[in-house]
Structure 1
Amino acid sequence: MPDLFDQPGSDAAPAASGSAPRPLADRLRPQRLADVVGQEQVLGPEAPLTTMLASGSLSSLVFWGPPGVGKTTIARLLAAETDLHFVQISAIFTGVQELRKVFEAARLRRQAGQGTLLFVDEIHRFNKAQQDGFLPHMEDGTILLVGATTENPSFELNAALLSRAQVLVLERLPLARLELLAQRAEAELGRPLPLDGPAREALLEMADGDGRALLNLVEQVAGWRTDAPLDKTALATRLTRRAAQYDKSGEEHYNLISALHKSVRGSDPDAALYWFTRMLAGGEDPRFLARRITRMAVEDIGLADPQAQGLCLDAWNSYERLGSPEGELALANAVIYLALAPKSNAAYTAYKAAAAAARKTGSEPPPKVIRNAPTRLMKEQGYGKGYAYDHDAEDAFSGQNYFPDDMPRASYYAPVDRGFERELKKRVDYFARLRAQRQTS
C-alpha cells in the first residue's frame, strides 16, 4: 500500500497527457486504498478508516505524520471510494477569499447532490480565525474536512476543530516497507537498481522513512549507467545523505530532548550519546543542550553527586571557549558522566513540596523567637526573645522550631541511600534524633 506523496493544487488533476514525462512517484501513486504501502494502524482490517468505510460513516479527519507517508494519497483515495468530489488546498497559499470560493463551490455542489472532501495540506498554518471558519461548513455537511499536518494537532489546532475531527497518526515507513516500495519502483522501471546489498540498504536509510523521498532517490539512481553494482562508498560519493527530520521549534525537538533526558535518568550513556548527537546532527544549538544537561544534573542527580552540576557548568564553559566542533566533546563528557552518576531527585522533590506548602500557608509569619529585633519596639514585642544560639548549645544544635507557630513541622527532604546522599541521609537522621531528644528534655 504506498503511503506516499503530497502534491499542492486544488481539484484532482488528471494524469499528464502527451509525451510529458511523469515522475516515478506520480506513476506509482496508488489507485486503491488496498495498494497503499504501510499505515496498517489506520488502514488494516480493523483499523479506523476501514471501519468507517465499511459502515458508510466517514467523519472529518486530521492526518498527523511526517512528510512522504501518504497523507494526500489516502485523502484522494477516500474521496474516490466515497464518491465525494476531491478538492485540495494548501494553507500556505490559500487566503480568506480563496476559502470563501471553495466553500461556495462546495455548497452548490451539495445542492446538486454531490458532497465534497476538502483536503487541507499544512492545516496547522491556518490561524485560529481561519480554522474557526471551517466549523459551520463541517457541521452542516457542506464539506468533509481532511486536514494534514506534520505538527502535533494538540498544540497547533483549535480545540473546536479537533472536537469535530478524528486525529489519525501516520508513521514513518520502516525499512521493510521502503524495500517493498523500491521493488515496485524496479518493476515499473523494468530494471533493478545498480546497487549491491549494503548499498541498497544505505539507500533505504537515506530516505529516512519518507516514501516520496525514496522514490526520488530510486529514480535518480536508476538513471546511472554502471558496469557493476555500486557499493556503499560509491553510492555515498554520488548521493548526498538526506537530512534527518528535525524541527528545532516543533514537537520533534521536544521528543528528542525528552529522549536524551530520560536516557540520562535511566543511566544509559550509550542511548544518551545517541540522542545527544542526533540533536546536534539536526542543527540544535549546543548552548540549549548545555543548559538542559545542567538541568539534568540539578534535577536527577542533585546531591547524590555534588560534583555533577559543577562538571556540567565547566563543560558549558569549555564549549563557549572552544566553540564547535571541539566544544561538543566537552558536553558529551558531561552527558556520559551524568548517565553514570548516582541518581536522586530528593532535592527536586523537596523543593516542589516546600514550594507547595509555601503557597498553601500564604503569609504565615516566622515565630517571634527567630525574628530579628533591631529596634526597641521590636524587642518589646518579643522579637528574638528566647532564641537559642545554636553554637552555644550541646553539639551546636538547639533543636528549636523554625516553622511558623501555627504550622506543624514538615519533612520535605528525604535523601536516598545512593552516592553522596548516603552521607547526607546519616546527617538528616542524626539531627532528627537530636531534635527529638531536645524536645523531650
Structure 2
Amino acid sequence: MSDLFATAGLEGAAPRPLADRLRPQRLSEVVGQEHLTGPEGALTRMIANRSLGSLIFWGPPGTGKTTVARLLARETDLHFEQISAIFTGVADLKKVFEAARGRRAIGQGTLLFVDEIHRFNRAQQDGFLPVMEDGTITLIGATTENPSFELNAALLSRARVLVFKALDAEAIERLLQRAETLEGRRLPLDPDARAALAGMADGDGRYLLGLAEELLSLPEGPDLDVAGLAATMQKRAPIYDKGQDEHYNLLSCFHKSLRGSDVNGAMYWAARMITGGEDPGTVFRRLCCAASEDVGMADPQAMPMVVAAWTAFDRVGWPEGRLFLAQAIAYVATAPKSNAAYSAFNAALALAQKTGSLPPPKHILNAPTKLMKELGYHAGYRYDHDFPDAYAGQEFFPEELAGDPRTDFYAPNERGFEREVKKRLEYWARLRAERQGR
C-alpha cells in the first residue's frame, strides 16, 4: 500500500494504519518469532548462507508471515510479488509466472508470496511445481492450516515448513511500547486493562495494533479500567475455525484431558471451544465417546449421566444449560477409567474378520421347523434360568473357536465397578469348568 502512495505522490499526506507504520524494516525487528529471525534463527542462517529456498509459513493470523516474506525478498535482492489464493485464478497464475520468467531472463529473481495457499486446490498447487523446480520463482506460501493435511505432498517435498508462533505476552508488550513511542503518548489503560488488551489480541499482532490505534485516538482522559476497556471496544472471539484444523486440535485436547482424569484441563478446553462458537452438541458427543471408550464398565453410569445432561441441555438451552455440561464433564473426567470393553470389541472385530463365516453351534440356534429339529438345531440347549445363579456354562462360540485363547476378549481391571465385574467373570469361569466337567 505504501508503494502505491509513493507512486501517486501521496506518501506524505495519506493516512497509514499504525500496523503499516510499525512494519519492521529488518528481520531483527520482527517480534515474537526469534526462533526464525533471531541471531540463531533458521531464516537468519539461510540469508547468511545465501541458501534461501521455497518455504511454507504456517501459523495463526497476525504473526508476521507477510512482513517476513517482504524482508526476505529485500535481503536476497529478489523481486517481491504477492498474491492471495482467495482472489487468484489459473489465468492470473499464468500471468505471474510469465512475468517471473521475463525477470529471470534479465537476471532478476522473483520471490512469490502466496497468502492462504491452502485455498488452492490440488491441481492449482501442482501448477507451482515446474516454476519452483526450474528456479523461475522462490515460493513462500502462508497458511493458517496444517500443511500436512492441506497441501500436496509434492509441493511440501519441495518446500521447507517454518512454524510461526502466536505472539506471547513479551512480544505483545514490545509492540505496544513501539506504538506508544511512535505516537508519542501512552495507552490510556491501567495495568489490568493493559493485560486485558493483550488477551483480546489472542496472539495476533496486527489485531493488537488495530486496537491500540483506536485507543490512542481517544481524547485525553483518565485511564480506562477493564470494564471501561470492554465498554469502549468490542472483544472478538478467540481464533477458532470450527471446520478446520483447530477444531480437531481442541477436541483432541478435550478428550485427552478427560482420559487423563484432569477435570480442570477438560473444563478449560471445553470452554475454549464454547467461547470460540462451537456447538455444545459437539462437546457432548465427545463426552459420550469418552464415557464409553475411556470410562466404560469402570463406571457404567457415566454414559447415562452424559446422555441425561445432554437431554437436559437440549430442553433448557444456554446459558443455564452450561450447568449440565459442566456436571457431565466433571463426572467423566473424575470417573474411574477402563478401556477394557472398547479393546475387547476391537479384538472381537479383528478375530471375526480373520475367521470368516464359521457356523454357530447348533444348540443355540432356534428350531421353528420340523426339518431344523431333525438337523439338530436347538438340541442340547440349556436354559440358563433353570440353573443355579442363572448360569448354565454352555458354549456359545463356533466349534472351531471353542476354548481358543483368542476369544478371551474382555479383560476387566481392578478399577471402579469393573472390579466387581471381574469377580463375577472369575466366578462364572469356575462354574463353567465344573459344569462342563473340566
Instruction: Give the TM-score range, shorter chain.
Output: over 0.9
**Where do residues 17-166 of structure 1 align in structure 2 (5 Å cutoff)?**
17-166=11-160
Residue 399 of structure 2: aligned partner: 405
Structure 1 position 425 matched with structure 2 position 422: yes
Give identity over the alignment, percent. 63
How far is 1:271 from its partner? 2.0
Structure 1 position 251 matched with structure 2 position 235: no
Structure 1 position 375 matched with structure 2 position 369: yes
Q: Name the CA distance, whole Å, in 1 between partners of 2:173 and 2:210.
A: 14
SS of 1:326's equivalent in the other structure is: coil
Structure 1 position 293 matched with structure 2 position 290: no
Contact 1:16-1:22 at 8 Å conserved across structures:
no
Contact 1:370-1:402 at 8 Å conserved across structures:
yes
Residue 297 of structure 2: aligned partner: 303
Q: Name the CA distance, whole Å, in 2 between partners of 1:391 and 1:197.
A: 74
- Distance change in 2, residues 1:54/1:363 (3 Å): farther
Amino acid at match of 1:143: I
RMSD over aligned Cα, in angstroms? 2.2
**Most deviating of 393-402 and 331-340:** 393-402
How far is 1:143 from its partner? 0.9
TM-score by length of 2: 0.93
- Summarize deviations over 1:353-401 as a string: whole Å, max 9, x none: 1111112212122123333333333334333333344344454433333
Q: Name the CA distance, whole Å, in 1 between partners of 2:283 and 2:96.
A: 45
What number of residue pairs does the alignment pair up? 434
Q: Name the CA distance, whole Å, in 2 between partners of 1:136 and 1:256.
A: 37
How far is 1:36 from its partner? 0.7
- Summarize deviations over 1:68-113 as a string: whole Å, max 9, x none: 0011011111111111111000011111111100000111111111
Structure 1 position 437 matched with structure 2 position 438: no
How far is 1:14 from its partner? 9.9
Structure 1 position 178 matched with structure 2 position 175: no
Residue 264 of structure 2: aligned partner: 270
Contact 1:8-1:89 at 8 Å conserved across structures:
no
Structure 1 position 321 matched with structure 2 position 315: yes
- Summarize deviations over 1:387-424 as a string: whole Å, max 9, x none: 34434445443333322222224111111212111111
**Most deviating of 47-56 and 108-117:** 47-56
Residue 187 of structure 2: aligned partner: 193
Q: Name the CA distance, whole Å, in 2 between partners of 1:141 and 1:334.
A: 57
Q: Name the CA distance, whole Å, in 2 between partners of 1:104 and 1:123.
A: 19
TM-score by length of 1: 0.93
Contact 2:80-2:110 at 8 Å conserved across structures:
yes
Residue 415 of structure 1: aligned partner: 412
How far is 1:9 from its partner? 11
Contact 2:309-2:325 at 8 Å conserved across structures:
yes
Contact 2:2-2:11 at 8 Å conserved across structures:
no
- Summarize deviations over 1:169-204 as a string: whole Å, max 9, x none: 111001111001111111111222122211111111
- Summarize deviations over 1:252-279 as a string: whole Å, max 9, x none: 1111122221222222222222222221
How far is 1:8 from its partner? 12
- Distance change in 2, residues 1:9/1:360 (3 Å): farther
Structure 1 position 231 matched with structure 2 position 225: yes
Q: Name the CA distance, whole Å, in 1 between partners of 2:211 and 2:117.
A: 28
**Most deviating of 312-321 and 375-384:** 375-384
How far is 1:152 from its partner? 1.3
Contact 1:9-1:90 at 8 Å conserved across structures:
no
- Distance change in 2, residues 1:216/1:14 (3 Å): farther
Q: Name the CA distance, whole Å, in 2 between partners of 1:25 and 1:257.
A: 34
- Summarize deviations over 1:149-185 as a string: whole Å, max 9, x none: 1111122111111111111111100111100111111
Structure 1 position 214 matched with structure 2 position 208: yes
How far is 1:440 from its partner? 4.5
Q: Name the CA distance, whole Å, in 2 between partners of 1:397 and 1:205.
A: 63
Contact 1:8-1:88 at 8 Å conserved across structures:
no
How far is 1:229 from its partner? 2.4
